[in-house]
Amino acid sequence: TLIGLSNVSHGAPAQNRALINRVFLVLAMGAGLDAVIVDSFDSDTVGVCNMLKAQKALSGLDDLYINLYNMANSLGELEDVKYDSGDKEQSAVYKTAQILLNKEIYSHSYIG
């Protein structure tokens, strides 16, 4: 399976697009994605991709990405994924996963 990653967030505000793309990529990789067309200048997304391949977390945010990857890989439930709700970045990633997995309704201001 091959995807053009930026198509996922088409129409979303510019400030949300990279996060939406990144979280979708994590979930898609966990579900068995074979290849992706990605903005190679988006160092955060490339870094997350490389971290997932190595399965070596360097932060709590990395742990969340690995947990989301593993959840998708095992067909688990998002509600079982642990994250630090007090951490702004982790909360944004989790909220994005909720939207991508149809647990919440999308609005442009969902991150708030």
For the segment 94-105, what is each residue's pLDDT rounded down to a tens digit? 999 999 999 999
Q: Which two tokens stand for residue 1?
A: 């399976």
CA angle (100, 104, 110) in 5-degree steps? 85
pTM, entire model: 0.93
How far apart are alpha carbons 93 and 64 in whole angstroms?
8
Size (the chain), residues: 112
* Confidence class for position 110, pLDDT limits 50, 70, 90: confident
**Cβ atoms 82, 88 nearer than 8 A:** no
Integer CA distances (angstroms), 103 to 2, 3, 18, 39, 78, in order:
25, 23, 20, 27, 9
* Confidence class for position 111, pLDDT limits 50, 70, 90: confident
Predicted pLDDT at 10:
94
The 10s digit of each residue's pLDDT in 5-61 is 999 999 999 999 999 999 999 999 999 999 999 999 999 999 999 999 999 999 999
